[in-house]
Structure 1
Amino acid sequence: MRTIVITGGTDGMGAALARHYLAAGHRVVVIGRSSAKFAALVARRHPAAPDRAEFIAADLSLVADNRRVVEHLRENYKRIDALVLAASFIRQRRHMTPEGHEASWSLFFLGKYLFVTRLAGLLRASDSPVVVNFAVPGTRPDAIDLDDLEMLDGFTFKRSNAQQRRANELLGILATEQNPDLGYITWGPDRLVRSSFAGEVGLGMKAAAAVLAPLLGRSPDDAVRPIVDIIDTPTPGRASYRGAAARPLTAGTHDEEDAVRLASAVEKIL
């Protein structure tokens, strides 16, 4: 029985993965906001599922909540076989958390950084550890401004999204250098997925999703099939996928240096 940890595991693709691995007989830890959604998810599985399922309530845009969850996992689990970072909340405008961090940066990178780096020991204890990071691959090497990570100057949704994605690629360099046996995957769907589009997405995006998703979108259970294959047959090292199709890793001329600079900047504020 493996231990699968999923952030954002009460909705969409995260919930689909939780359902799959509970049904397959594995231990699943879900981190999210809604205990009611988690209870409903578990109730649909095998009668023994509650004995193999744990819910941890957290606002993953808050560094303090991420720290609390990480410490709970370190205190209560001996290993993590798969860490799935799927939590999402879309913001098209710059928003500050009560801790003073830009909210999208905090959710989509600072929290992920804490999970990957602070749980490295539990991942190392697994025979075949894998991290699946829902961070769409393929952004430019220069998409990150290492001198303005929280985008005090010139915030746009497009720039913010690209910076988070590039930061998560650099995080993979740090993670696999620390643990050569780790598989670290940046992953994004290859087509529209029917989901709730949680966040401040605007009327236009909501309207388009409402019209297009039933026609062109795939169900979350269908969309996560490539992720199941990745988790069940992990390969050490970094890789990127859109759906089931491998994508080339973004290669910059200073990737290792940028990864070290990123880690140094983040450690100073955490």
Structure 2
Amino acid sequence: MRTIVITGGTDGMGAALARHYLGAGEQVVVIGRDRAKFEALRATASGPGRARFFAADLSSVAESRRVVEQLRAEHDRIDALVLAASFIRQSRYVTAEGHEASWVLFFVSKYLFVTGLADRLRAAERPVVVNTAVPGTRTDAIDFDDPGMRAGFTFARANAQQRRANELLGILATEADPRLSYVTWGPRGLVRTSFAGEVGPAMQLSAAVLGRLLGARPDTAIRPMISLIDDPAPGRSAYRGARRKPLVTGDHDGRDIARLAALIERDISPASPE
């Protein structure tokens, strides 16, 4: 029995993935904000798998750290880590901890999970991390001096920065463990799923209408991800659906991942809020 950890596992593709692996008889740890959604997921899942739920808001550094410690305490081995938590914000939002929420949710929490669980993944026979950050963006997208974008926040800039940071995280992770499969993955197109976020009515309407008309069902959209989890290839890779995409490389990737790790260690300190 493998242990599959899924952040954002109570909705959409995360929930579909959890149902699939419960049906396959695996141990699935779901991390999300809503226990009622988890109970509904468990009620609709069929199969011999075991389900466990950790309630957490991963836009909180403290909550992310707490869950990592819980996972470490309860599991000696993690076979697959799927980073799929999502909550879209079009505007800059500062948490009670003093950090920009989207930067923490879409990157800092992932950094804490990947680095904090590295030894648990290393204990697996064929470890894999699937990071649902759409691959491909500019190599200069990260503002190392102002990652929380106190000046000039836009949704497009924040999205590009998070995507680039998650690609760099793959370099850090696979250098630490060459056996690890680290996949930056995005669906091929729209997915018919609930839209979690605080956005304007135009984006809500567009997501709801287009998703319903053109979107793939979550259980269909995740099929390529299942293949990548079940047959992982060591090293970094990037996919849109089942189609492999070229990795984005820059002249200063090594330097940039070192700078990124340094700023995370600096900025997640309670004494140094964004």
Q: TM-score, normalised by structure 2?
A: 0.96
Is the counterpart of residue 165 in structure 1 residue 163 in structure 2?
Answer: yes
Q: What is the identity percentage for the equivalent residue pairs of Structure 1 and Structure 2?
A: 67
Question: Residue 58 in 1 paired to residue 56 in 2?
Answer: yes
Note the alpha carbon deviations across 1:7-28, whole angstroms, 9 max, x for none. 0000000000000000000000
Shift of 1:201: 2.5
Amino acid at match of 2:103: W
CA distance in 2, matches of 1:155, 1:43: 41
Secondary structure in 2 matching 1:161:
helix
Asked whether 1:151 is paired with 2:149, we answer yes
Contact 2:171–2:257, Cα closer than 8 Å, also in 1: yes
1:177 deviates by: 0.5
Determine if contact 2:19/2:46 at 8 Å carries over to the other structure.
no
SS in 2 for 1:146: coil
Q: 2:41 matched to which residue of 1?
A: 41
C-alpha distance in structure 1 between counterparts of 2:109 and 2:252, whole Å: 24
| 1:126-145 to 2 correspondences below 5 Å | 126-145=124-143
Q: Which runs of 5+ in 2 are unaligned?
A: 269-274
**1:8 maps to what in 2?**
8
Paired residue total: 268
Preserved CA contact (<8 Å) 2:26 2:48: no
Aligned counterparts of 1:212 and 1:61: Cα–Cα separation in 2:
27
Partner of residue 256, structure 2: 258
Alignment correspondent of 2:30: 30
CA distance in 1, matches of 2:32, 2:197: 14
RMSD of aligned residue pairs (Cα, Å): 0.9
Q: 1 CA distance for matches of 2:267 and 2:208? A: 40
Q: Is the 8 A contact 2:25 2:47 kept in 1?
A: no
What is the CA distance between 1:34 and its match in structure 2?
1.0
Please give the alpha-carbon distance, in whole angstroms, between the structure 2 residues aligned to 1:153 and 1:209.
28
Residue in 1 that maps onto 2:100: 102
What aligned pairs does 1:76-91 form with structure 2 within 5 A after superposition? 76-91=74-89
2:266 corresponds to which residue? 268
For the residue of structure 2 that corresponds to 1:186, the secondary structure is strand
Q: Which residue of 2 aligns with 1:245?
A: 243
C-alpha separation in 2, matches of 1:173 and 1:238: 7
Asked if structure 1 preserves the Cα contact closer than 8 Å seen for 2:24 and 2:47, the reply is no
State the 1:45 CA deviation: 2.3
2:155 maps to amino acid: F
Provide structure 1 residue ranges, at least 5 long, that are not aligned to the other structure.
Answer: none
Equivalent-residue separation in structure 2 for 1:93 and 1:187 (angstroms): 25
1:120 aligned residue (100, 118, 123)? 118
1:216-236 CA-to-partner distances (Å, cap 9, x unmatched) read 110110000000000000000
Q: Is the 8 A contact 2:23 2:47 kept in 1?
A: no
Residue type at the aligned position of 1:26: E
One-letter amino acid matched to 1:2: R
Q: Which runs of 4+ in 1 moved over 4 A?
A: none
Quote the Cα distance in structure 2 between the aligned partners of 1:8 and 1:60: 9
Deviation at 1:48, TM superposition (A): 4.1
The Cα shift of 1:40 comes to 1.3
Q: TM-score, normalised by structure 1?
A: 0.97
Instruction: Determine helix, strand or coil for the equivalent of 1:31.
Output: strand
CA distance in 1: counterparts of 2:260 and 2:11, whole angstroms:
30
CA displacement, residues 119-174 of structure 1 (integer Å, 9 cap, x when unaligned) = 00000000100000010011010111111111111110000000000000000000
Give the deviation of 1:269 after TM superposition: 2.8
